[in-house]
Amino acid sequence: MVSTPKAPKAPDPTQTAAAQTATNVDTAIANAGLSHTNQYTPDGSLEYKVTGYQTMTDQNGKTYKLPTYSAYQTYSPENQAIYDQTQQTQLGLARLANDQTAKVSGILGSNVDLSAGSVDKYVNDHWQSGFNNQWDRDQASLEQSLADKGIAMGSAAYDNAMRDFTTRKQAASDQYLGDMYSNAQNSILTERNQPLNEISALMSGSQVHQPNYVNTPTTQLPTVDQAGLINENFNQKMGIYNQQLAQSNAAMGGLFGLGGTLLGGWAKSDRRLKQDIKRVGTLENGLPVYAFRYKEGGPMQLGLMSDDVREIHPDAVFEHADGFDRVDYERAVA
């Protein structure tokens, strides 16, 4: 009697998946150990060390113990000394800039006086004496020349020569004062802006630098198709979210930084001063955000309107002496 053969039993997909997962985990651990290669150079070293473990549980409930690594960067003694000195220099610049803030505050608290009287006084204080001294020497030279020629004081020839000299001196004085008037205005503005420029330079030299992280070696644990699809879907959603978040941060970053960069946090926010106004967003406190240009000129900017702010934070709005509203952005966005 011939018996009918039985079909072989199909492999258990759960056991197959579990075995594959275990193999993948072992491979990943081995790859991680091989990837974290220590580096030693004349400038310093980079070492990887196992500093702990984390557990992973697969879909079947099996737990795996995975090592975690930390990267340790060390400068050479010479580079460490340079780094320490650089940090001290930047800290010193930052402190110096902070010490100068009171001086800058006092300067900004006073208006620039470019009135005719102020400019004339500046010219007289800084340049007029040099001009007068030169013409005094020229007059003395002329008088000596006339005397050498036998032309006596009070004679017609003497009076004509001195009259001509006086006319030329007056013309030169008028020309000189006209030229120096513009120079004086520029000098007054330069003297006012110089402390501000110095503070700006100090702040530029004391910027905080981001740490230089190394590119950490990574290993990828293969996943089943379902996990891949889920991860792909998640990545697509994260991509859309990150894009929207980047656009929002770009729009709102200029607004929230505006109050800190303006003197005292007050900004010209009267709607009457602006044009090309277009609403582009809303703050969490309900205030509309607009893109606009100032009528006086300049690039497109982001900001608030004083009439909107007055409804929510009236204490953040005040009417300037020029009749237009100013807004304290720090209070307005609170």
| pLDDT, tens digit, 9 for 90 and up, residues 205-247 | 545 454 565 676 666 666 665 455 554 554 565 565 556 445 5
Neighbours of 115 (CB within 10 A): 9
Residue 299: burial class (beta carbons within 10 Å; 0-12, 13-18, 19+)? exposed
- Rg (alpha carbons) of the chain, rounded to whole number: 39
> How far, in Å, CA of 85 to CA of 3, rounded?
90
What is the reported pLDDT for 110? 65
Residue with tokens 């009287």: 117
| pLDDT (0 to 100) of residue 1 | 28
At residue 261, the pLDDT reads: 43
Asked if 116 and 199 sit in the same domain, the reply is yes
**Distance of alpha carbon 248 from alpha carbon 280, whole angstroms:** 10
- Same structural domain for residues 253 and 193? no
Identify the residue whose tokens are 């759960």.
14
> Quick check: is 191 in a domain?
yes
Taking the model in full, what pTM does it have? 0.34
* Per-residue pLDDT at 320: 93
User: 296 lies in which domain range?
Assistant: 245-332
Predicted pLDDT of residue 179: 67
Q: Tokens for 200? A: 């700006």
Rounded Cα gap, residues 205 and 329, in angstroms? 28
Q: Is residue 33 part of a domain?
A: no
pLDDT at 260: 43
- Cβ proximity of 231 and 278 under 8 Å: no
Instruction: Assess whether 198 and 124 both reside in one domain.
Output: yes
The confidence score (pLDDT) of residue 175 equals: 76
List the 266-268 sheet strands across, edge first.
266-268, 325-328, 317-319
Handedness of CA 213, 219, 220, 221 (dihedral sign): negative
Whether residues 116 and 190 share a domain: the answer is yes
4 within domain boundaries = no
Spatial distance between the Cα atoms of 286 and 333, rounded to a whole number of angstroms: 9
CA distance 14 to 8: 17
Identify the pLDDT of residue 280: 92
At 72, phi and psi to the nearest 5?
-120, 115
Contact 196, 107 (CB under 8 A): yes
**pLDDT for residue 214:** 63
Which pLDDT does position 2 carry in this prediction? 31
In this prediction, residue 168 carries a pLDDT of: 87
Q: Which residues of the chain have pLDDT under 70?
A: 1-6, 97, 100-116, 123, 126-128, 177, 179-182, 184-185, 188-214, 216-265
**Is the residue at 9 inside a domain?**
no
Contacts by 33-36 with C-beta closer than 8 Å and gap 24+?
Answer: 33/67, 35/217, 35/218, 35/219, 36/69, 36/217
If one counts the domains in the chain, the total is 2
